Homo-oligomer: A and B are copies of this chain.
Amino acid sequence: MKPTIYDVAREAGVSITTVSKIINGKGRISIETQKKVLHIMEQLNYQPSLVATALTGKGTRTIGLLIPDLANPFFAELARSVEDRGHEHGFSVIICSSDNNEEKMKRYIAMLQQKCVDGMIIATGIGEQVVEQQLLPSNMPIALIARDMPGISAQTVLVDDFAGGYLAATHLIELGHTRIGILTEPLHLVSSLERLRGYRQALADHQLSFSADFHKQSDSRIEKGKEKASEWFQRPGSPTAIFASNDLLAIGVMQAARDAGLRVPEDVSVVGFDNTILAEISDPPLTTIAQPIEHMGHQVIDYLVQVIVEDEKEKQRVVIQPELVVRKSTAAPSGREGSGCI
């Protein structure tokens, strides 16, 4: 059995109060008792139980992280950053992959509440309802990252998605493209919507008209992106450039292009979003819009810890400007189907 505070107290011939005080560095204890007790703790290999501590109201030192999918490198990198910084603050993190599924979200949030996590970080695109109904009333500290919930007042750290969409489209336009497709995740995700808006704005600012045919939606799996992009490539007059709203989708687009006998970037340019490791290693390396993932992770957790331990009330909204990272997947149009009409 794990030794308890009683064991230590007995061995040291003091009361549990004394031991507790020494553990927490509170009250005044003679240097000798201190030494003696410390020694016994060492000897017994005593570690205070955090669950007992938690029960007395000191918190569990645990936070929940809700993401869509840990297998998506963007979220894995984000989770890693959150985990690291969390540990630095003495918090561990429970990661829950929701697959952007409302039901799972609900279950996970309930479970995290039962476990009495001290706070939650939400990176899933959905669940606004759940958050509003389950989390806000319970007074659970929360922070949003890489996702926006317009109706919710909470600390938020995200990239300017509109600017990102604008950047991506502008890059393509400046290369000379006029037939620019956009592949987004479902539009109930605010970030998708914003990226689309940015793209449309860029088009408009350059006197290009937006065609609904050039917008497709997909969930964020590579295969799905590939499938959707294929629909374009099977028909004449397809886009000469495609902006995909995340790297995974962009990879799918490139695969579809390859399958259709098109070269990237000669025949079709592709730009992604996120700047995950995938962008660096894909074939060709992917031009993409970079989110400073690590930085964002650090920021949310710093803030969340602040509200947990210092009871910070003020909610900020941190919007970071994304950057265009040009690699090899974009180039000027080659003139393939140059006579095509938009």
Q: Are A114 and B49 in contact (CB under 8 A)?
A: yes
Please classify how large the interface on chain A is, using the bins under 10, 10 to 19, 20 to 34, 35 or more: 35 or more
At the interface, yes or no: A212 with Cβ under 8 Å from chain B? no
Q: Are A96 and B115 in contact (CB under 8 A)?
A: no
Q: Is A113 an interface residue (CB 8 A)?
A: yes
Asked if A116 is at the interface of the complex by the 8 Å CB criterion, the answer is yes
Decide yes or no whether A73 CB sits under 8 A from chain B: yes
B62 touches A55 (CB 8 A): no
**Residue contact A95 to B83, C-beta cutoff 8 Å:** yes
Contact between B51 and A116, CB atoms less than 8 A apart: yes
Q: List residues of chain B with CB within 8 A of the CB of A114.
A: 47-50
Q: Is there a chain B Cβ closer than 8 Å to A77's Cβ?
A: yes
Least distance between A122 CB and chain B CB atoms (Å): 16
Chain B residues in 8 Å Cβ range of A107: 87
Rounded to whole angstroms, the CA-CA distance of A112 and B55 in the bound complex is 17
Of A162-170, A201-209, A276-284, the stretch lying at the interface with chain B is: A276-284
Considering only CB atoms, which chain B residue lies closest to A137 in the complex?
Answer: B45
Residue of B nearest to A47 (CB): B114
Q: Quick check: is A69 within 8 A (CB to CB) of the other chain?
A: yes
Q: For A76, what are the chain B residues with a Cβ–Cβ distance below 8 Å? A: 70-71, 73, 76
1/0 per position for A63-104, CB-CB distance to B under 8 A?
000000111010011011001100100001111110000000
B97 and A84 contact, CB distance less than 8 A: yes
Which residue from B69, B84, B93 sits with its C-beta under 8 Å from A94?
B93
Q: Does A289 contact B (CB under 8 A)?
A: no
Q: In the complex, which residues of chain B have a beta carbon less than 8 angstroms from the beta carbon of A111?
A: 87, 92
Asked whether A299 is an interface residue with its Cβ less than 8 Å from the other chain, the reply is no
CA distance A222 to B279 in the complex (A): 13
A28 within 8 A of B: no
A50 CB contacts on chain B under 8 angstroms: 114-116
| Interface positions of A (Cβ within 8 A of B) | 2, 47-52, 54-55, 60-62, 69-71, 73, 76-77, 79-80, 83-84, 87, 92-97, 107-108, 110-116, 138, 222, 251, 255, 277-278, 280-285
